[in-house]
Amino acid sequence: MSTAPIGHNVSLERRAWNIRRHAILMGEVQGQGYIAQALDIADVLATAYFHAMRYRPDDPEWDGRDRFLLSNGHYAIALYAALIEAGIIPEDELETYGSDESRLPMSGMASFTPGMEMSGGSLGLGLSIAVGKCLGLKRKGSDSRVYTLFSDGELDEGSVWEAIMSAAHYKLDNLIAIVDINNQQADGASTAVMGFEPLTEKLDAFGWFVQRVDGNDLAAVRAAFDAAKAGYGQGKPSIIIADTLMGKGVPFLETREKNHFIRVEAHEWQLALAALDERKPS
Amino acid sequence: MKSATAKAGAGKPRLTTSAMIASIAGEGQRTKAAPFGHALVELAKQDSSVLGMTADLGKYTDLHIFGQAFPDRYYQMGMAEQLLFGAASGLAAEGFMPFATTYAVFASRRAYDFIHQTIAEEDRNVKIVCALPGLTSGYGPSHQATEDLALFRAMPNMVVIDPCDAHEIGQAVPAMARHRGPAYMRLLRGQVPLVLDEYGYSFELGKAKLLRDGYEVLFISSGIMTMRALEAAKILESDRIDVAVLHVPTIKPLDTATILDCCAKPGRLVIVAENHTVNGGLGEAVAGLLMREGVHPAFRMVGLPDEFLAAGALPTLHDRYGISTDALCTRVKGWLN
């Protein structure tokens, strides 16, 4: 029962496209931003906010909502785009992205932004908070789910594995984690910085319900969210390993040399918009 | 580690050394068992949002008493302090009031960023209660939290409490709960000395209290150093040295008005005594306050040195590092002469 503000018959493809467009417009405001990550995760966020999650755009703190924790705070540009699309943040506010006094700082923080449930930035925090929220929701007798997105680089953090162990220990089947495998972290390819494969087998051995999907295949992502939600009551936390392509949806960014922080020249923001507009779904 | 009970020379037993856990109660001193655990049980009877959480140190932070009384409100998070505080933040965000316990070293050093970001920055209603503050373990630097007050003082939003005894801990627990927001309290556990009840004392968050007055020396102290200062004052009295003791259990926010008022009284040697490194704790907080406000009494600091402390028996170490009652008396006399 996600209550989308603009039309109920908008396709997920169009939602994802809108999210990408909001993100590019924000990136243009600052002339920088983690735009390649925003583009790679747009399909996951569209599915979360327009297929899976329960929330009220006009009451972002409604207790019956599903929680979404952005552990990788530098993906804030992507989440703001989703929150704008969801009607939680007014669209015209994207012009303030990263500016003084804005509610949309470049790294996501709970106290700044409606719909932002945690303060990220320091990586590896989200899953631990999610464990606490899941325990709390169960205590309250709530059937709300906790979704948390984190990045493949965060798998290097020991705290992530503390949380992974505890979520299984406490049988937190109201937890749905999504890890973005774009294979890029600050110092290079994530698998080269610190090998984390075989991830599916590892997480399975830790007692989680594990699905690995192409994170830019909307049908696959949607099916994975459905299966994860259906796991409620089964006693296992759920994780969706989403393999994604940085820059997805803007061909010249998809093929640009991979880097954690992809540089976009001033004139390229409009080119990116144009490239996206050429691929506008119905 | 050599046997703790090895005999020396003429058969005089050596002090038990290097134990992780040792009571700080003196021989024959009045004590109360597990004041934190019992106070939390009482609080939890009144407030259903109160939860207990620990990282494999329930028994060693007296939280097991809460766990026995409210098994379903007690969360064992395993030996994982980062998870402990992150999850406490999550529970607080859902409307609960977790009391999360571990040793002070692990909260202040290992989990600092988690407390900083998920609790302090997000302003979550989490109470952090940590055993083995300062030099209250003979186990060595791994368990001696000599810098916790400096670290938590530096953290925005964090209230910092260094209680003296069982009486104060019993009152500080409900007071922490009445304060909405993050708070850190140093914990004395096990058989905890009872001292302040004799002084008609009651804990108020953010308040310093003059426990005894005197015209020659003013001790400003927190935690177990208030107990030591009171003992020293009694001993020095027999040497006709008149000592006042101002107890400052809330390190942050500091009761600046009372401290300034006491320090402005002319002619007294002001000595700040703390069970903490001299860097960044109560001593420097008071020094900075006096300097900023233009109040300049004769001023000395008693605290732990800026070094990694030795392992050994607590009485030996307290003498060596100058925070025993005898050491306090010796230094006061030296400074007055």
User: How many folded domains does chain A comprise?
Assistant: 1
Higher pLDDT: A73 or B2? It is A73
Write down the residue that tokens 């890029």 correspond to: A184
A129 contacts on B by Cβ (under 8 Å)? 86-87, 89-90, 93, 118
B56 touches chain A (CB under 8 A): no
Q: How far is A78 from chain B (nearest CA, A)?
A: 21
Q: What is the pLDDT of residues B175-226, one digit of tens each?
A: 999 999 999 999 999 999 999 999 999 999 999 999 999 999 999 999 999 9
Interatomic CA distance for residues A121 and A108, integer angstroms: 7
- Could you tell me which of A255, A236, A278, A140 has the C-alpha nearest to residue B51? A140
Residues 181-240 of B with CB under 8 A from A: none
CA angle A245, A248, A252 (to 5 degrees): 110
Q: Is residue A4 part of a domain?
A: no
Nearest-CA residue of chain A relative to B113? A122
Nearest-CA residue of chain A relative to B111? A159
pLDDT at A237: 98
Q: What is the CATH number of the domain that holds A237?
A: 3.40.50.970
Q: Which residues contact A243 (CB under 8 A, 6 or more apart)?
A: A181, A182, A212, A213, A214, A215
A141 touches chain B (CB under 8 A): no
Domain that holds residue A194: 12-277
Question: Do residue A159 and residue B83 have CB atoms under 8 angstroms apart?
Answer: yes
Q: Is residue A5 part of a domain?
A: no
Question: Do residue B94 and residue A111 have CB atoms under 8 angstroms apart?
Answer: no
Domains of chain B in start order, with CATH, are 29-193 (3.40.50.970), 206-336 (3.40.50.920)
Q: What is the pLDDT of residues B241-254, one digit of tens each?
A: 999 999 999 999 99
- Summarize the confidence of residues B299-326 as an average pLDDT: 97
Nearest-CA residue of chain B relative to A111? B122
Give backbone dihedrals phi and psi of B169, rounded to 5 degrees, phi first.
-60, -40
Q: Look at residue A238 and give its three-state secondary structure.
A: strand
Interatomic CA distance for residues B126 and B181, integer angstroms: 7
Q: How far is A255 from chain B (nearest CA, A)?
A: 36
CB A248 within 8 A of CB A43: yes
Which residue among B78, B94, B113 places its CB closest to the CB of A122? Answer: B113
Strands B191-193 and B31-33, sheet pairing: antiparallel
Which residue among B78, B87, B121 places its CB closest to the CB of A132? Answer: B87
pLDDT at B1: 40
B118 touches chain A (CB under 8 A): yes
Instruction: Name the DSSP class of A246.
Output: T
Segments in A141-210 forming alpha helices (H):
158-169, 190-193, 199-205
Tell me: pLDDT of B171 over 90: yes
Helix/strand/coil (H/E/C) assignment for every residue in chain B? CCCCCCEECCCEECCCCCCCCCCCCCCCCCEEECHHHHHHHHHHHHCCCEEEEECCCCCCCCHHHHHHHCHHHEEECCCCHHHHHHHHHHHHHCCCEEEEEEEHHHHHHHCHHHHHHHHHHCCCCCEEEEECECCCCCCCHHHCECCHHHHHHCCCCCEEECCCCHHHHHHHHHHHHHCCCCEEEEECCCEEECCHHHHCCCCCCCCCEEEECCCCEEEEECCHHHHHHHHHHHHHHHCCCCEEEEECCEEECCCHHHHHHHHHCCCCEEEEEEEEECCCCHHHHHHHHHHHHCCCCCEEEEEECCCCCCCCCHHHHHHHCCCCHHHHHHHHHHHHC
Q: How far is B181 from chain A (nearest CA, A)?
A: 14
Strands B12-13 and B7-8, sheet pairing: antiparallel
Nearest-CA residue of chain B relative to A116? B122
Q: What is the pLDDT of residues A99-140, one digit of tens each?
A: 999 999 999 999 999 999 999 999 999 999 999 999 999 999
Nearest-CA residue of chain B relative to A66? B94
Q: How far is B204 from chain A (nearest CA, A)?
A: 29
A139 touches chain B (CB under 8 A): yes
Which residue among B77, B89, B114 places its CB closest to the CB of A166? Answer: B77
Which residue among B78, B86, B121 places its CB closest to the CB of A132? Answer: B86
A152 touches chain B (CB under 8 A): no
pLDDT at A7: 56
Q: Is residue A62 part of a domain?
A: yes
CB B173 within 8 A of CB B63: no
Q: Place B162 in a pLDDT band, splitting at 50, 70 and 90.
A: very high
CB B102 within 8 A of CB B130: yes
Compute the mean pLDDT over every residue in chain B, rounded to the nearest whole number: 95
Tell me: pLDDT of B15 over 80: no
Nearest-CA residue of chain A relative to B93? A133
Choose the weakest-confidence range: A1-5, A29-33, B112-116, B280-284.
A1-5
Tell me: pLDDT of A10 over 50: yes
Q: What is the pLDDT of residues A149-181, one digit of tens each?
A: 999 999 999 999 999 999 999 999 999 999 999
pTM, rounded to two decimals: 0.95
Q: Is residue A194 part of a domain?
A: yes
CB B90 within 8 A of CB A132: yes
CA angle B270, B246, B130 (to 5 degrees): 110
pLDDT at A263: 85
CB A67 within 8 A of CB A145: yes
Interatomic CA distance for residues A211 and A200, integer angstroms: 7
Q: How far is A82 from chain B (nearest CA, A)?
A: 22
Question: Do residue A136 and residue B123 have CB atoms under 8 angstroms apart?
Answer: no
Q: What is the pLDDT of residues A196-237, one digit of tens each?
A: 999 999 999 999 999 999 999 999 999 999 999 999 999 999
Tell me: pLDDT of B4 over 70: no
